[in-house]
Structure 1
């Protein structure tokens, strides 16, 4: 190992220690350090989240979207590792899924056969992989008592739309065909994801209903459902709350081919004609998230179509809280709720 690599490792350890210590402070102390409470749209930002964002600004850490794509991907991995920590899991192994890299997590209480959730990671269709979402996938599998199969799909700008959509469908078809070989109950298959992954999960659920493929549940965590983002939350929260307008603009630039219709239902499921037989959905949003309103609009669209839907907003959270399971209290508690509800839904 070179001196440069050793110094980078020491720097990461120091950064992780400082973040963990700050997030472990009593909430009144965090509130004093963070400054005046952030109140928008009748919601108050969690003090620990406000403090973390303040620390990021003071450290002048650039957003991933300000860097060249390769460096941005490294930054996302770095941030995910700091926020995720090392979470316990019954068993984990890598395996190919429809020619794509996959990782199977088995919760300690899952048993020889259990429900299985195909998980599709977020990252604006340009960032993220199996490692960026390793920690929350572990929490989902362990807390829900299920198997979680994460898949690393193709992304832009190297592979623009509809590559990720096609890969997500291929992965689910593989799960249906190979459920028994990975210990999955074929009657309790689910699909889920966060952000861009929530978008892909919604697309998989729609197509599964059209084809008559077995799908018992869909988990949509602050899903991107409208590539045009014509919402009030987009205007309110597009700066200062981690997910920025610049990030979303870059996501469209990297993933959507020039001139392509942003209302294509494979890209914007809010514009899809919903088929009969859609799986029950649990839609999660964050109060301080530009994508909040479009996620909630999609939940209403599902409900209007007769789909069984539970919509839950975590009003004090920001986009990407799903990755924050290794530090703080409020974000990990929210993710624990998601995991428990997912497990309960799949055992009904």
Structure 2
């Protein structure tokens, strides 16, 4: 279907004075500030059920002695679930604040305690540090919430880390996850599929921006073939039931769809929620793009169905 009209207007507005400056042409701090400005905005009339979610900041200790910031969201209606949430931002940008609203929505919608982890970011902390932090966050969440159905959720780079954490848990006897939700995950560091798609440029996320992100996260090309990085070629057997969400006008759409096929081939129950007319990043646009909100509701409903079907 055609690009959503609100997103079309947003993109046209961003291109009014020429194409936006690519990430590699600005400093890391400028990239982070630009991401924050786009993600954190006033939400007038925001009086949904997620406003009643209680929030407290916590610390997560890692294996190297570092304490990570985290934010724990507790809804009024508790369904006995807990989520480890890993934010997007190309492993470079994004933080607890940029994804605060989304975590509130998830907590209220799923009736789940949500632990949002502020993992260390590239380029100051390249691979594998962000992944190790994600693993530590998932273990901390599991230890703090015994008996709850534990769900891994991540968007974009956070989805990449979530899938890596699930692989680690499988291989090391780590936490047991009831399900995972991967929202427009990057899984192919070669960017072969993304480069060949019809929406490689001009739709908020470009292939060049993804290439820059990989360069920051995995500066040594020798590691881009590691199973925890090249997730499209990883052994996916034994992973928890998975929901994968994609966006039609996203360079990562094709590799997300291929990931679903690979999960099925590996015997993993997997569901795909497409995002017709949407772009990368729509999960953060639910308050301004009705089509994004509708797709987000479908995504959350699919995850809820997966969790309900797993209950004896």
TM-score by length of 2: 0.89
For residues 40-67 of structure 1, give each alpha carbon's deviation from its aligned partner in whole angstroms, at most 9, with x where no partner exists.
xxx3111111111112222658357142
Q: Show the counterpart of 1:72.
A: 31
Q: Show the counterpart of 2:202.
A: 240
Determine whether 1:88 maps to 2:51: yes
Q: Show the counterpart of 1:231.
A: 193
Determine whether 1:279 maps to 2:245: no
Q: Is the 8 A contact 2:237 2:267 kept in 1?
A: no
Greater relative CO, 1 or 2 (CA 8 Å, sep 6+): 1
Determine whether 1:46 maps to 2:4: yes
* Structure 1 pair 210–275 and aligned structure 2 pair: CA distance change class (3 A): farther
Q: Distance in 2 between matches of 1:231 and 1:259?
A: 18
Q: Show the counterpart of 2:133.
A: 167
The count of aligned residue pairs is 298
Q: Secondary structure at the match of 1:286?
A: coil
Q: State the 4+ residue runs in structure 1 displaced beyond 6 angstroms.
A: none
Q: Secondary structure at the match of 2:274?
A: strand
Q: Show the counterpart of 2:20.
A: 62
Q: Give the alignment partner of residue 100 of structure 2, picking from 109, 134, 142.
A: 134
CA positional deviation for 1:88:
2.0
For residues 112-132 of structure 1, give each alpha carbon's deviation from its aligned partner in whole angstroms, at most 9, with x where no partner exists.
xx2011010111111100011
5+ residue gaps in structure 1? 1-42
Q: Distance in 2 between matches of 1:347 and 1:95?
A: 29
- Which is worse superposed, 329-338 or 53-62? 53-62
Q: Show the counterpart of 1:39.
A: none
Q: Distance in 1 between matches of 2:298 and 2:70?
A: 25
CA positional deviation for 1:142:
1.1
- Which is worse superposed, 304-313 or 210-219? 210-219
Q: Is the 8 A contact 1:146 1:343 kept in 2?
A: no
CA positional deviation for 1:158:
0.3
Q: Is the 8 A contact 2:191 2:207 kept in 1?
A: no
Q: Distance in 2 between matches of 1:108 and 1:50?
A: 37
Q: Give the alignment partner of residue 107 of structure 1, picking from 75, 82, 88.
A: 75
Q: Distance in 1 between matches of 2:293 and 2:236?
A: 33
How big is the alpha-carbon RMSD for the aligned residues of Structure 1 and Structure 2? 2.0
Q: Show the counterpart of 1:343.
A: 304
* Structure 1 pair 84–164 and aligned structure 2 pair: CA distance change class (3 A): farther
Q: Is the 8 A contact 1:126 1:155 kept in 2?
A: yes
5+ residue gaps in structure 2? 62-66
Q: Distance in 2 between matches of 1:262 and 1:83?
A: 39
Q: Give the alignment partner of residue 183 of structure 2, picking from 221, 235, 247.
A: 221
Q: Is the 8 A contact 1:145 1:343 kept in 2?
A: no
Q: Distance in 2 between matches of 1:237 and 1:47?
A: 16
